[in-house]
Amino acid sequence: MGEWRKHIPASEFAIYDRTGFSARTAMGERTALIVVDTTLGFTGSEGLSFEQAVAEFRTAAGPVAWRTMPAIAQLVAHFRARGAPIVFTCSSDDDVRFTGNATKSNRRTAPPPRFNDFPAAIAPLESEWVLQKTKASAFFQTPLLQYLVQNRVDTLVLCGVSTSGCVRASAVDAFSNGFATFVAEDCCFDRSFFAHCANLFDMDAKYANVASLKEILALLDARPAARAAAE
């Protein structure tokens, strides 16, 4: 059981189950991974306290990001081994500021230095796509949908930050665009643990299958690897 589930009252689960929410969706045949905004601007440098991290980048989540990083790295490594598509998102270098207030600010300003640097443990390969975006969803006015269609992707796995913000917005749009959508519960993090738990609960009820890293890896392993399927 995911840690977040322990913080949702059983009565809430009962209401949703009784009214037909929380139905599960099968994983399709061609799966892509979206690593949402897991850059230093949203983590802060490794080893800092939360207070130190937000002094470095006010949008940083701090220690929880680095506790989550090994699980994200394992998920990324698994997709690489399968030859499956991985898309990393980050803040636009030169467009509308969205960091921290994803739908509020329209000030044009570039992120500070190192903001868009990825931690070494999950740094994208040269062959992998780093998608810059200006709003919370990875789909909003980006070519992501076209890329996924061209690659015949039918299922998305999402991880990263923040659970309540850009991960959630991207999951809702993934569902709205017809993809089977999975959120890796132990590969997401948020500066607010309350928001993390509440949003995993709500996404699981309405838009996505929220599952553990172990569960997602098992589902992936039950399907042919991308390279084998393409041959």
- Is 90 annotated in the active site? no
> What sign has the CA pseudo-torsion 184, 85, 175, 178?
negative
The catalytic residue among 159, 166, 188, 197 is: 166
For residue 86, which phi and psi values (nearest 5 degrees)? -130, 130
> What sign has the CA pseudo-torsion 121, 125, 129, 135?
positive
Cis peptide before 162 (omega within 30 of 0): yes
- By the 8 A CB rule, do 32 and 120 touch? no
Helices (H), the chain: 10-18, 40-43, 50-56, 63-82, 144-150, 168-176, 193-206, 213-221, 226-230
> Which active-site residues does the annotation give?
166
